[in-house]
């Protein structure tokens, strides 16, 4: 009976998916094992137990030169309760009997994996085995040339960094057959708790004969020679590749569960809008997952680690998510044997913890050339261990959420997804950080009431590609009292990236698209307008005496379909910026609103027909940040769960645990905030924190989890105010009930 209900549910999902949300079309096509895992609460397994992960990735000569006891002792000193250890794939660290499974040339008759595993088990640790199937040696090439990836010119691909090795095809028999045997052998010999694969999903497009034949069988087309997602072969490829990989995941998972039903296959997967594997399906398949963004690189604030926590949680819910951090550098030149500054490690890990990630350190090479990181991680992990009960979050109490959309990136963004999609999201994200508004993220494939009704406001930073169903779900959310803030081309395209004649959400925005996009604009402005009574709309808070602020770079020409009296900002069109004698506005005033504000019942709608979020990310104009903050605050229209007043830039999150509430404050204030690494931690001055108490809860105790100072707190009604005298990198206010 139970399985029939599940089956019916799957059929309904497939029907819904077929009609509407289609990224990928097959997302409901799960194996029976995955279905039963979905229906059973996953937290009953081992998955929720580990809070601190340790990963040791051995290099091939480690068996001869490293000291396993050093590592076992380090795991113990750090209170690591789970480990990920190298087992097989490109190099086997156990006496495998599978032909062509390359044993470490330095292990002789030993079993390095088995020895470490035994040591971890003695300490009661969860252990998962790591495999890496992306590269093979010459003997594999000679025996099975068809297992090797092929480039678009028909050449088999040598490994880009280790030229004596070959790159494998992820979607053919090497993974489906050979690696299945490897995973079965590891599981049957060691009965590990899981198998985790790195680089399991391929190294770019493969044109081998298996991929050609399988793709043709799937859709009748040749493999794409274009990256344009509007071409049928590329559109089909995007969907087919995911189907192949989800099939592979479910195959490996099913095979190891036949041997050990408590084990799971855990692929190294997941991320945000630019991730090519559907996060909704990942969230359905995975009982536990790890975010593999190991450090900052290039221009990036430390909040990128916390962002991954939010993106994963959007589809994983409260299932455990490990936050992998390398203590090393993550720049493209790949120095793997040196380490980051202490301050950088601390701020990066703190932001992950503040955003619900369970710390997971990863070190490549069992022999250490640079040991500076050891004490730092030990100190962080010890703090984490001592405060574990306050870090086992049950729910985020954020009332605002930012939507992210992989289909928008894949089909509307295409090869320009970074600027057309991701930069909007990053700008919005940074504006919310600066505004100190705690927020979560929502996957656009999960817009059902159970996923979004805990939020008062959903933000759509240029979520251009939305299906009719998704638009209906958003409309229903507004009918139920939800507010929305949307920018630029949100809903102007369908889920496959085809432009609609008008916004899918035109009725909510109250405007129609005229078919014209203006830009790139130079020297265009926004005029700050007063109400007839000389007051200013709340979205202009802090901008009242500005007169005008700078415009974005692109704007959509829209016509109001509703009445928008007294628009707070209006367009000043571009005018020449040279010669200087000619720099004067040809049209100093228009009546064209550049923000559309509506109230429908208790719901508020903000639509900005320009690229405010993307421009903010590009030029970081503070006026844009304030306008975004004010727009979200106006739309949300309620007392926030937490406000934090004081100098600096903080990442603020608020959580409920079983018997407590926590507010995390991560101090990002640093000259190296936008580009790491931090050289030193610089304390920020006092912050006043006002926290809403959950209904009916009386605080028993309030403490800081980092500082030894006893907090001074005042309660007024249902809010409690705490002054935090100073924050070095991270402070947590914990309220026990």
> Shortest gap between Cβ of 337 and Zn ion (angstroms)?
33
What is the distance, to the nearest Å, from the Cα of residue 466 to the centroid of all Cα atoms in its chain? 20
Nearest-angstrom CA–CA distance, 453 and 543: 32
Nearest-angstrom CA–CA distance, 320 and 705: 22
Residue placing its CB nearer to Zn ion in the complex, 169 or 273: 169
Distances (CA, A) of 604 to 75, 598, 613: 51, 6, 19
Residues that bind Zn ion (CB under 5 A): 169, 172, 206, 208, 211
DSSP letter for 685, please. -
Residue placing its CB nearer to Zn ion in the complex, 170 or 627: 170
Integer-rounded Cα Rg, in Å, for the chain is 27
Residue placing its CB nearer to Zn ion in the complex, 169 or 409: 169
> Shortest gap between Cβ of 90 and Zn ion (angstroms)?
17
Residue 660: enclosing H or E segment and its boundaries? strand 660-667
> Shortest gap between Cβ of 210 and Zn ion (angstroms)?
5
DSSP letter for 477, please. H
Nearest-angstrom CA–CA distance, 204 and 40: 35
CB atoms within 10 A of CB 570: 18
Residue placing its CB nearer to Zn ion in the complex, 44 or 146: 146
> Shortest gap between Cβ of 200 and Zn ion (angstroms)?
14
Residue placing its CB nearer to Zn ion in the complex, 244 or 664: 244
User: 367 burial class (0-12, 13-18, 19+ CB within 10 angstroms)?
Assistant: middle
Q: Check: CB of residue 412 under 8 Å from CB of residue 420.
A: yes
Residue placing its CB nearer to Zn ion in the complex, 84 or 170: 170
The region, left, alpha or beta by phi > 0 then psi within -120 to 50, assigned to residue 412 is alpha
> Shortest gap between Cβ of 500 and Zn ion (angstroms)?
36
Query: Which residue is associated with the tokens 């496959």?
Result: 496
Phi, psi (deg, nearest 5) at residue 259: -90, -45
Residue placing its CB nearer to Zn ion in the complex, 212 or 523: 212
Residue placing its CB nearer to Zn ion in the complex, 169 or 377: 169
> Shortest gap between Cβ of 292 and Zn ion (angstroms)?
23
> Shortest gap between Cβ of 248 and Zn ion (angstroms)?
12
As a three-state string, the secondary structure of 140-203 is HHHHCHHHECECCCCCECECCCCCCCEEECCCCHHHHHHHHHHHHHHHHHHCCCEEEECCCCCC
What is the distance, to the nearest Å, from the Cα of residue 290 to the centroid of all Cα atoms in its chain? 11
DSSP letter for 420, please. I
> Shortest gap between Cβ of 735 and Zn ion (angstroms)?
55
- Antiparallel, parallel or unpaired: β 569-572 and 525-528: antiparallel
State both tokens at 333. Answer: 């030149």
Residue placing its CB nearer to Zn ion in the complex, 219 or 550: 219
In the three-class reduction of DSSP (H, G, I as helix; E, B as strand; rest coil), residue 323 is classed as: strand
Residue placing its CB nearer to Zn ion in the complex, 84 or 206: 206
Q: Check: CB of residue 141 under 8 Å from CB of residue 135.
A: no
DSSP annotation string for 7-45? HHHHHHHHHHHHHS--TTTTTT---HHHHHHHHS-GGGS
Residue 486: enclosing H or E segment and its boundaries? strand 483-487
Residue placing its CB nearer to Zn ion in the complex, 146 or 379: 146
Cβ neighbors of 170 (< 8 A, separation 6 or more) are: 133, 134, 149, 200, 201, 202, 203, 206, 245, 248
> Shortest gap between Cβ of 208 and Zn ion (angstroms)?
3
Bridge partners, residue 643, by sequence: 690
Nearest-angstrom CA–CA distance, 219 and 494: 22
> Shortest gap between Cβ of 173 and Zn ion (angstroms)?
9
> Shortest gap between Cβ of 242 and Zn ion (angstroms)?
15
Residue placing its CB nearer to Zn ion in the complex, 172 or 309: 172
> Shortest gap between Cβ of 235 and Zn ion (angstroms)?
19
Residue placing its CB nearer to Zn ion in the complex, 240 or 493: 240
Residue placing its CB nearer to Zn ion in the complex, 192 or 208: 208
> Percent helix, strand and coil across the chain, each rounded to 5?
35, 25, 45
Residue placing its CB nearer to Zn ion in the complex, 134 or 307: 134
Length of the chain: 737
Q: Check: CB of residue 319 under 8 Å from CB of residue 43.
A: yes
CB atoms within 10 A of CB 538: 13
> Shortest gap between Cβ of 149 and Zn ion (angstroms)?
6
Distances (CA, A) of 463 to 157, 350, 453, 505, 564: 37, 29, 19, 11, 24
Residue placing its CB nearer to Zn ion in the complex, 156 or 719: 156
- Antiparallel, parallel or unpaired: β 525-528 and 511-518: unpaired
> Shortest gap between Cβ of 230 and Zn ion (angstroms)?
24
Residue placing its CB nearer to Zn ion in the complex, 214 or 723: 214
Bridge partners, residue 322, by sequence: 290, 358
Residue placing its CB nearer to Zn ion in the complex, 206 or 521: 206
CB atoms within 10 A of CB 659: 13
> Shortest gap between Cβ of 286 and Zn ion (angstroms)?
25
Residue (of 221, 179, 173) closest to 198 by Cα position = 179
> Shortest gap between Cβ of 202 and Zn ion (angstroms)?
8
> Shortest gap between Cβ of 675 and Zn ion (angstroms)?
38
Distances (CA, A) of 655 to 94, 129, 296, 469: 43, 32, 25, 31
Distances (CA, A) of 407 to 274, 366, 410, 709: 9, 40, 5, 48
> Shortest gap between Cβ of 668 and Zn ion (angstroms)?
43
């Amino acid at each position: 009976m139970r399985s029939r209900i599940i089956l019916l549910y799957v059929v309904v999902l497939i029907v819904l998916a077929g009609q509407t949300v289609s990224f990928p079309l097959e997302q409901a096509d799960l194996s029976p094992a995955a279905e039963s895992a979905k229906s059973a609460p996953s937290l009953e397994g081992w998955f929720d137990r580990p809070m601190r992960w340790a990963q040791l990735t051995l290099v091939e000569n480690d068996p001869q030169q490293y000291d396993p006891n050093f590592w076992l002792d380090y795991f113990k000193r750090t209170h690591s309760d789970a480990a990920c250890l190298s087992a097989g794939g490109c190099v086997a660290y156990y006496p495998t009997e599978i032909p062509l499974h390359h044993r470490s040339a330095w292990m002789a008759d030993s079993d390095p994996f088995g020895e470490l595993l035994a040591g971890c088990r003695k300490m009661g640790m969860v252990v998962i085995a790591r495999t890496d199937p992306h590269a093979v040696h010459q003997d594999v090439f000679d025996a099975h040339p068809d297992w090797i990836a092929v480039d678009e010119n028909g050449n088999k691909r040598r490994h880009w960094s280790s030229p004596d090795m070959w790159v494998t095809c992820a979607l053919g028999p090497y993974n489906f057959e050979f690696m299945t045997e490897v995973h079965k052998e590891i599981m049957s010999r060691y009965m590990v708790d899981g198998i985790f694969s790195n680089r399991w999903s391929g190294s770019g497009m493969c044109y081998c004969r298996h991929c050609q034949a399988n793709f043709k069988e799937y859709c009748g087309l040749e493999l794409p020679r274009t990256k344009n997602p509007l071409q049928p072969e590329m559109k089909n490829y995007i969907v087919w590749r995911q189907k192949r990989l989800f099939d592979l995941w479910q195959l490996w998972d099913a095979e190891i569960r036949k041997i050990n039903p408590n084990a799971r296959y855990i692929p190294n997967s997941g991320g945000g809008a630019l991730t090519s594997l559907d996060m909704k399906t990942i969230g359905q398949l995975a009982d536990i997952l790890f975010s593999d963004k190991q450090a900052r690189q290039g221009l990036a604030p430390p909040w990128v680690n916390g962002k991954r926590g939010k993106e994963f949680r959007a589809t994983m819910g409260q299932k455990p998510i490990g936050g992998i951090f390398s203590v090393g550098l993550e720049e493209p030149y790949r120095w793997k044997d040196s380490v980051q500054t202490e301050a950088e490690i601390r701020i990066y890990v703190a932001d992950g913890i503040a955003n619900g990630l369970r710390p997971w350190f990863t070190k490549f090479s069992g022999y250490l050339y640079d040991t500076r990181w050891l004490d730092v991680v030990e100190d962080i992990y010890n703090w984490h261990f001592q405060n574990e009960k306050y870090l086992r979050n049950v729910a985020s109490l954020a009332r605002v959420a930012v939507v992210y959309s992989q289909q928008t990136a894949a089909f509307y963004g295409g090869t320009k997804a970074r600027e057309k999609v991701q930069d909007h999201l990053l700008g919005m994200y940074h504006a919310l950080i600066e505004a100190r508004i705690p927020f979560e993220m929502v996957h656009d494939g999960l817009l059902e009431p159970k996923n979004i009704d805990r939020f008062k406001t959903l933000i759509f930073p240029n979520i251009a590609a939305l299906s009719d169903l998704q638009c209906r779900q958003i409309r229903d959310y507004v009918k139920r009292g939800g507010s929305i803030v949307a920018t630029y081309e949100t809903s102007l395209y369908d889920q496959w990236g085809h432009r609609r004649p008008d916004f899918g959400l035109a009725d909510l925005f109250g405007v129609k698209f005229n078919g014209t996009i203006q830009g790139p604009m130079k020297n265009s402005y926004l005029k700050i307008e007063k109400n007839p009574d000389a007051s200013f709309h709340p979205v202009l808070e802090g901008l009242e005496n500005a007169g005008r602020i700078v415009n974005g770079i692109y704007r959509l020409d829209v016509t109001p379909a509703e009445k928008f009296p007294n628009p707070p900002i209006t367009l000043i069109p571009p005018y020449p910026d040279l010669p200087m004698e000619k720099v004067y506005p040809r049209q100093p005033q228009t009546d064209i609103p550049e923000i559309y504000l509506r109230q429908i019942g208790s719901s508020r709608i903000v639509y900005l027909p320009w690229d405010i979020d993307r421009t903010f990310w590009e030029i970081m104009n503070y006026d844009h940040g304030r306008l975004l903050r004010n727009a979200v605050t106006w739309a949300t229209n309620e007392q926030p769960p937490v406000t934090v007043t004081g100098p600096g830039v903080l990442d603020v999150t608020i959580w409920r645990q079983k018997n407590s509430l926590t507010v995390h404050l991560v101090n990002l204030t640093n000259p190296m905030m936008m580009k790491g690494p931090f050289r030193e931690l610089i304390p920020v001055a006092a912050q006043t924190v006002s926290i809403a108490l959950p209904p009916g809860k009386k605080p028993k105790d309030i403490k800081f989890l980092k500082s030894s100072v006893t907090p001074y707190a005042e309660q007024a009604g249902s809010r409690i105010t705490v002054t935090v005298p100073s924050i070095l990198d991270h402070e947590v206010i914990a309220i026990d009930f």
